[in-house]
Structure 1
Amino acid sequence: MPQQVQGVVAPGKNEPVRVEAIVVPDPGPGEAVVKVQACGVCHTDLHYKQGGINDDFPFLLGHEAAGVVESVGDGVTEVEPGDYVILNWRAVCGHCRACRRGRPWYCFDTHNARQRVTLTDGTELSPALGIGAFAEKTLVAAGQCTKVDPAISPAAAGLLGCGVMAGIGAAVNTGQVGRGDSVAVIGCGGVGDGAVVGARLAGATRIIAVDVDDRKLETARTMGATHTVNSRGGDPVEAIRELTDGFGADVVIDAVGRPETYRQAFYARDLAGTVVLVGVPTPDMKLELPLLDVFGRGGALKSSWYGDCLPSRDFPTLVDLHLQGRIDLDAFVTETIGLGDVEKAFARMHAGDVLRSVVVL
């Protein structure tokens, strides 16, 4: 029977979000209803509110979430009621050409639940990244649920559902950082700090964090950065070169996603080094680089979509590493808040006051 619960809705472009009664349908074939325990406040949710993703208002916001499966529809074998899960926004199909080639993290046919959560008047809500987890309960495709060890707190676990996974994966999966490598990370928000953690986990010996905010640089140092550069005070490319014996870093990760930061990443890498773009640009942005420089420097220019992660492989592994004390996912949680505090959390995020606010239900 459909359930009425509370959720955070963005009613229109740049309008304040509000907590409203929403209706969650029973799960259909291949779907699951999840009782949400925690959900991080991500920049992507703010972009949805601002109309920066699309204009399919109203939106049910929230996507960095962990919770417990309450019920499942017909044909579901991945999870069962009672499973503690992290939600992901790329449920792989298993049948497309990428999946058939053994590269499911590049799946070309990821999917979400077919049914929609609605307002009480029947208005359909567009779930953020196919999840919509600023809610007491939500409906997702069963493949969006990844079972993990319940010993990890929901606030920390949920962050693997997007930003932290994107950053760690940018370093480990896409950048393929190796032991002894030098790594520079441009932009030290949640994704950038995830990249710092990933670089340290992979065995990088020199990890250079770059930002314009000294507070963020200090946080990056606590996450594992060995050096910090405030790019307001000078050319970050020259600073990175000075810290790498004049050569540039083996891997440079752009966690901002702007033409100017990408150019910095391109020229701050060593010859035959790797550039990883994990920050998300806007549709209007253009990049110009001398083609001879692209040719002459060699190496690799890569984009990292969701950290090139495979949730079924990466989420349980990272949770286990956290429980072993090898990475600290709790360090990403700046504050815990309620459903009614999301609008204030957006303001704090915009001001750079938090790494992550997390809604706890």
Structure 2
Amino acid sequence: MSKKIRVVVVDDSALVRSLLAEIINRQRDMECVGTANDPLVAREMIRELDPDVITLDVEMPRMDGIDFLGRLMRLRPTPVVMISTLTERGAEVTMRALELGAVDFVAKPRVGLASGLNELASQIVDKIRVAAVAKVHRAHTTGKETATATVSSAPPVSSSALLGRLSTEKIIAIGASTGGTEAIKEVLVHMPADSPAIVITQHMPPGFTTSFAARLNGLCQITVKEATQGERILPGHAYIAPGGKQFALARSGANYVAVVDDGPPVNRHKPSVEVLFKSIAAVVGRNAYGIMLTGMGNDGAAAMREMKDAGSYNYVQDEASCIVFGMPREAIAHGAADEVLPLHQIASALLTKLRGATDRLHHRI
């Protein structure tokens, strides 16, 4: 039998520590090697036990989880799964934790904690398994002590040639899972205000996509928002699939519109990249650009091949820059990729392609 995944649980609730330790120890491939009730105790325990994965409560006494995570990722980068509360504040703090380098998070219920955590047991251990093989990096930053599990940003790309009819006709579709919040940000911050519309499915539960969209909206030249049923998809905007809903595109006359509904999970996901990408293949065709970013599993790979067969041009993140090279690997295996690139090159490659399409359009006119 292969070596067990060694986990340290950090949480100020004795009940949560006990429940998480029990859930972890029920698995044949992992063990809880220690629990700590605050980050100062955890610091010594991590130094002594050298765990493979840490589960970390967002809000704790003496030093909150965010401060602790920042120090941990600067000094001793370790895969971390955050245990977050389903509140607006919890969602905002979770987004910050993902920026600092946490691999993923689990949203714990506010009521019925014991039964709720046990219902989440399979999700918790799945995320620990993913974290155990994820790549995290020490950040080389100045000023604030931060770390990240993504690669560094490339300089912004000029948008001078992206005006006119092109932005109305084209659609950019992005799919991501584990590690995707930072990867999506890395692409979107380089997109100019007159970018074609961007539609995004990131695997995320209800209550967290609102904070994710708001955080991106404050950083980007384009407008970033959650998608809503029936709204027109406009250039200069990015639309994120709401957590717990399926998101697709449809045609309404000359316009693209959002379809947001309560359809069943696809590939165990809701929202699912497969659902979005299949709709892109059907209604956008050769006017689409696809981007597959870091994530575990195969969600969206088959549909990305359908996009390519319908005339889309597709970018896939390379293994070296992925937190988890699952979904990109599957997209490549399905023959869906036109280019496989490091994360920091995707936006510039896409904009170069768009500028070329604009030049061709102008020549035809």
Q: Which category of TM-score, normalised to the shorter sequence, fits these structures? A: 0.3 to 0.5
- For normalisation by structure 1, the TM-score amounts to 0.34
Q: Which has the higher helix share?
A: 2
